């Protein structure tokens, strides 16, 4: 009876030992195993079993990307300005063995290394360069930290300057400078706007004057054309009236030829005028010498008409 109890106890103890020796490594984790105090292996994802009382899990390491947000660190620029700068470091453990045995307290070591690297880089820059060269500082710090932490099994992916806090008096001066710069830009923009407005107004007046001159020119041309057409029509009307008068005189005198000499018509008109003068009460009529030669012609024409 006693041996069965002992055997059962032994079996139970062995079962407990086996159960306690089993380990399940989760995703994105790694276990560093030591055997009798020396490095044995690194367990990755899956089920593993260690030798009881001989193997032990020295360190559980997360393989995820991790973030370290450091508090503001006092740094001095090249022009002796003390600023407070806080940084954020994104890193990932790539070698659990080096991470476990490379350095004591890796996180504290990274914080100290980050602070000293930041002071060294900012110490070579002036205040204005520090404020405008964040990308340069981030790139330099990442390269230096990545190289320094490589023996620790750590890869630095990114480094960001989270905040830069200059002294209060310098910050006030910077705000005044920025306000003056904004006022200057505003004045320049207003001047440029007024200049463009004046140019547009002048161009508008120029185009308006050109259009008015063109309209006046076209109006003058149209008036001249109208006057010319009116003069032509008037001249044609007068010519037609003269032609009709000549035709009427020619018809009344029995002349069939429409091309009667104009001089004869004029002479006949003169004779008719002399007849009207002779019908008056004047006792003496003075006939111009050039009219005397017309009497015979008038008598001949009159005789011809009566016949």
Which whole number is the average pLDDT over 55-81?
Answer: 89
Ramachandran bin of 46, using left for φ above 0, alpha for ψ from -120 to 50, beta for the remaining angles: left
**Interatomic CA distance for residues 57 and 22, integer angstroms:** 11
Question: Domains (ranges, CATH) in the chain?
Answer: 2-62 (no CATH), 65-166 (3.30.479.30), 267-307 (no CATH)
Q: Tens digit of pLDDT for each residue in 136-153?
A: 999 999 999 999 999 999
Confidence band (pLDDT; 50, 70, 90) for 300? very low
Residue 264: left (phi > 0), alpha (psi -120 to 50), or beta? alpha
The pLDDT assigned to 302 comes to 47
Q: What is the pLDDT of residues 171-226, one digit of tens each?
A: 777 778 788 888 888 889 989 888 898 898 888 888 888 888 888 888 889 888 88
What confidence category does residue 258 fall into, taking pLDDT thresholds of 50, 70 and 90? very low
Does the pTM surpass 0.85? The reply is no
| Per-residue buried b or exposed e for 25-64, using 16+ beta carbons within 10 Å of the residue's own CB | beeebbbbbbeeeeebebbeeeebebeeeebbebeebebe
Contact predicate 163/85, CB 8 Å: yes
pLDDT at 20 over 90: no
CA distance 267 to 280: 21
Tell me the pLDDT band of 70, cut-offs 50, 70 and 90. Answer: confident
∠271-276-278 over CA atoms, to 5°? 90
**pLDDT tens readout for residues 77-99:** 888 888 889 899 999 999 999 99
What secondary structure letter does DSSP report for 52? T
């Amino acid at each position: 009876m006693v041996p069965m109890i002992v055997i059962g106890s032994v079996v139970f103890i062995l079962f407990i030992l086996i159960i306690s020796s089993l380990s399940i490594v989760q995703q994105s984790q790694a276990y560093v195993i030591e055997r009798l105090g020396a490095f044995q292996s690194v367990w990755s994802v899956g089920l593993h079993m260690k030798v009881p009382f001989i193997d032990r899990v020295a360190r559980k390491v997360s393989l995820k990307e991790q973030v370290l947000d450091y508090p503001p660190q006092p740094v001095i620029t090249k022009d002796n300005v003390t600023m407070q700068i806080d940084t954020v470091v994104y890193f990932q453990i790539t070698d659990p063995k080096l991470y476990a045995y490379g350095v004591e307290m890796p996180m504290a070591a990274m914080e100290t290394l980050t602070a000293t690297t930041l002071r060294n880089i900012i110490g070579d820059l002036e205040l204005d360069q520090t404020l405008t060269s964040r990308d340069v500082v981030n790139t330099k710090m990442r390269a230096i930290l990545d190289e320094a932490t490589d023996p620790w099994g750590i890869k630095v992916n990114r480094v960001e300057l989270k905040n830069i806090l200059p002294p209060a008096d310098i910050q006030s001066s910077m705000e005044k400078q920025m306000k003056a710069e904004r006022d200057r830009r505003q004045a320049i923009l207003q001047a440029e706007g007024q200049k463009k407005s004046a140019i547009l107004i002048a161009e508008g007046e120029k185009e308006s004057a050109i259009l008015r001159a063109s309209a006046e020119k076209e109006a003058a041309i149209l008036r001249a054309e109208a006057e010319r057409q009116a003069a032509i029509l008037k001249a044609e009307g007068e010519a037609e009236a003269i032609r009709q008068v000549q035709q009427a005189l020619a018809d009344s005198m029995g002349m069939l030829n429409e091309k009667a000499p104009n001089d004869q018509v004029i002479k006949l008109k003169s004779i008719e005028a002399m007849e009207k003068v002779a019908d008056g009460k004047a006792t003496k009529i003075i006939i111009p010498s050039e009219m005397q030669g017309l009497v015979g012609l008038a008598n001949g024409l009159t005789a011809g008409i009566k016949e």
